[in-house]
């Protein structure tokens, strides 16, 4: 399919801008492990503070990159599978709102006025531009959903008895989840945090803000993941040389995420005393439920890959693994997907630990947590994003991939790095190593009285893995932008390696209609979150004054001027302490 020039440009910009910003995110990822391993024993480097870099790393990689890509990939899948282009004016409006919002938030972070970490929890306070920018990014990302829904309804009227293409179903499910969960984030940002940041309010309800954030924050994980799931079901079997074992399994999994992905955010608040135990237990059970779609996907994809391997002559129980096209330069996208799928096994297993209230108490706010979510965000999510970004740009521009031999090796180099990196973090977490903290200031500084030698091997492992990941990430940027600079040598066509279905499964209306699932989703959300929000409003505790991430003492404030002054502390530990909640 050949896209119009306007839509093609929107997609190019939505892929190019976040990947250019990714260079900043990758750099600060490397700096984090350097600080934490004690190589740097200072609060800042190159005029960028540790916590400033931590915020840049989290926001760019986990929010900006993923949101821009999801919109670009959504435009491509909707246009390709429905054979209808989105409204170009709305697409450009969406792009500019997201871009302006990103620039506003980026200015606040680079200026050192928004060192509030990825979670932007109060009582950490950012510049109003950070919150306004976040709101614009979110609102801009809503616009395509309503336009795609219009196209889908048109297509459904024209094809009443045809199955909705699985990729279209996945795209709409993903953005419905995103719209619902970001309503809470928008309310938190616009109603609670922005007036507080502008000095109109002296304090903020921290518990309510956190509950609203995790209503958004955990569902965000599935907003990251579902584009990868769409690729796994629709493209991976074809790239492997086989067929999709079950289209119906994919539909069940996608609707399962619609039900379970949003109402489980409270499991991030198991240590929050304001949330009652009954709410936490119920949310823990729901969290185990969200593993079901992942298990369905694991078995379906394993069967699809086995079929592909046996079709290529594989024998024995696991012989099909040896017949897959791991290093085929013409199918480099397979390398990115299979590597992400492998990492997701470990991400899912470590995530189950976090879902249990009792086990979570052991690992809460330790390095175990980033060890877990890097297996997911930096595993299938990141690899699917960069692999598909390269694929869409190359096909849609008619340019061959720059350094194809390097392109196909990058995901395997990344896997090696992430396994070493996350092993170091997870091991350190079990030994009590805190997350987020600048360990080089105290705990990994041999001259400090708080020096903790048992964390030396764990942080060294994380440093080694981080260096390998940095090399892989920079190699990808060379490949991607090198491809952009090449001359067009082929026809510019939007093309996807669409998988055929192994079985001719009949259309089941329940799994090809949104209405019953949306109603059920609303019911589950009410049951899961009304008690949590009641707890947050009934048990808020005293309003919290402003804190900074590098100091355990609140910043002094006055009611009229809200003047900010950081108290001078003689305690050596003050510079390493952080507000981790």
Which residues are designated catalytic? 218, 222, 372-374, 435-436
Q: Count Cβ atoms within 10 A of the Cβ of residue 435 and give its class: 0-12 exposed, 13-18 middle, 19 or more buried.
A: buried
Paired tokens of 23:
């260079």
Paired tokens of 138:
């979110």
Q: Is the peptide bond before 87 cis (omega within 30 degrees of 0)?
A: no
Residues facing 44 on adjacent strands: 49
Total Cβ atoms within 10 A of residue 214 = 25
The number of angstroms, rounded, from the C-alpha of 188 to the middle of its chain's C-alpha atoms is 20
Q: How far apart are CA 123 and CA 327, in angstroms?
A: 49
Nearest Cα to 458, choosing from 53, 21, 33, 8?
A: 33
Say if CB 140 and CB 117 are below 8 A apart: no
3-state SS, residue 348: helix
Nearest Cα to 441, choosing from 457, 426, 428, 452?
A: 452
Residues 6 or more apart from 531 whose CB is under 8 A from it? 276, 278, 279, 282
Q: How far apart are CA 95 and CA 92, in angstroms?
A: 5
Q: How far apart are CA 153 and CA 146, in angstroms?
A: 11
Q: Which phi and psi (to 5°) does residue 556 adopt?
A: -70, 145
Distances from the Cα of 383 to the Cα of 342, 426, 428, 461, angstroms: 11, 21, 25, 22
Q: How far apart are CA 167 and CA 180, in angstroms?
A: 20
Element (H, E) at 45: strand 44-45
Q: What is the DSSP letter of 505?
A: P
Q: How far apart are CA 114 and CA 193, in angstroms?
A: 12
User: Distance between terminal CA atoms of the chain?
Assistant: 48
* Alpha-carbon torsion angle 460, 465, 468, 471, nearest 10: -90
Distances from the Cα of 57 to the Cα of 66, 227, 279, 509, 552, angstroms: 13, 21, 32, 43, 23
């Amino acid at each position: 399919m050949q896209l119009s020039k306007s839509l093609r440009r929107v997609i190019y910009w939505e892929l190019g801008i976040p990947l250019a910003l990714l260079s900043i995110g990758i750099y600060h990822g490397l700096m984090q492990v350097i600080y934490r391993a004690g190589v740097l024993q200072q609060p800042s480097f190159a005029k960028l503070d540790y916590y400033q870099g931590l915020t840049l790393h989290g926001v760019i990689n986990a929010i900006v990159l993923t949101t821009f890509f999801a919109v670009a990939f959504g435009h491509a899948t909707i246009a390709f599978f429905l054979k209808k282009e989105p409204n170009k004016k709305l697409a450009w409006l969406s792009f500019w709102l997201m871009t302006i919002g990103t620039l506003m938030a980026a200015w606040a972070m680079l200026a050192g006025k928004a060192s509030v970490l990825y979670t932007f929890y109060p009582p950490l306070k950012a510049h109003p531009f950070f919150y306004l920018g976040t709101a614009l990014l979110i609102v801009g990302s809503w616009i395509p959903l309503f336009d795609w829904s219009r196209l889908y309804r048109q297509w459904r009227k024209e094809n009443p008895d045809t199955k909705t293409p699985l990729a279209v179903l996945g795209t709409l499910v993903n953005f419905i989840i995103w719209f619902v969960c970001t309503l809470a984030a928008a309310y938190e940002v616009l109603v609670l945090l922005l007036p507080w940041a502008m000095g109109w309010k002296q304090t903020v309800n921290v518990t309510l803000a956190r509950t609203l954030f995790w209503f958004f924050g955990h569902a965000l994980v599935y907003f990251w993941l579902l584009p990868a799931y769409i690729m796994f079901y629709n493209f991976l079997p074809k790239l492997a040389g086989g067929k999709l074992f079950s289209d119906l399994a994919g539909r069940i999994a996608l609707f399962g995420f619609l039900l379970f992905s949003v109402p489980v955010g409270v499991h991030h608040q198991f240590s929050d005393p304001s949330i009652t135990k009954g709410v936490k237990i119920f949310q823990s059970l729901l969290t185990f439920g969200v593993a079901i779609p992942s298990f369905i996907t694991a078995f379906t994809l394993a069967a699809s890959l086995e079929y592909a391997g046996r079709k290529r002559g594989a024998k024995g129980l696991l012989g099909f693994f040896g017949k897959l096209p791991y290093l085929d330069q013409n199918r480099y996208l397979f390398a990115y997907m299979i590597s992400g799928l492998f990492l997701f096994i470990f991400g899912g297993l470590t995530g189950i630990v976090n879902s249990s209230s009792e086990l979570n108490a052991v690992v809460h706010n330790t390095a175990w947590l980033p060890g877990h979510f890097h297996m997911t965000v930096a595993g299938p999510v990141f690899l699917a994003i960069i692999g598909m970004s390269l694929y869409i740009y190359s096909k849609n521009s008619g340019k061959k991939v720059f350094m194809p031999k390097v392109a196909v090796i990058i995901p395997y180099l990344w896997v090696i790095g992430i396994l070493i990196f996350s092993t170091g973090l997870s091991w350190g977490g079990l030994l009590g190593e805190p997350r987020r903290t600048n360990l080089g200031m105290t705990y990994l500084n041999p001259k400090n009285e708080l020096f903790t030698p048992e964390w030396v091997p764990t942080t060294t492992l994380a440093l080694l893995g981080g260096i390998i990941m940095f090399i892989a990430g920079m190699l990808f940027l060379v490949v991607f932008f090198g491809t952009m600079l090449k001359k067009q040598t082929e026809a510019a066509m939007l093309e996807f390696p669409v998988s055929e279905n192994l079985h001719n499964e009949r259309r089941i209306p329940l799994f090809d209609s949104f209405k019953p699932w949306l109603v059920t989703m609303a019911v589950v959300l009410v049951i899961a979150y009304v008690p949590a929000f009641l707890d947050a409003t009934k048990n808020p505790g005293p309003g919290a004054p402003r804190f900074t991430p590098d100091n355990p003492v609140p910043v002094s404030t006055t009611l009229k001027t809200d003047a900010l002054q950081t108290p001078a502390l003689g305690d050596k530990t003050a510079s390493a302490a952080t507000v981790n909640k």
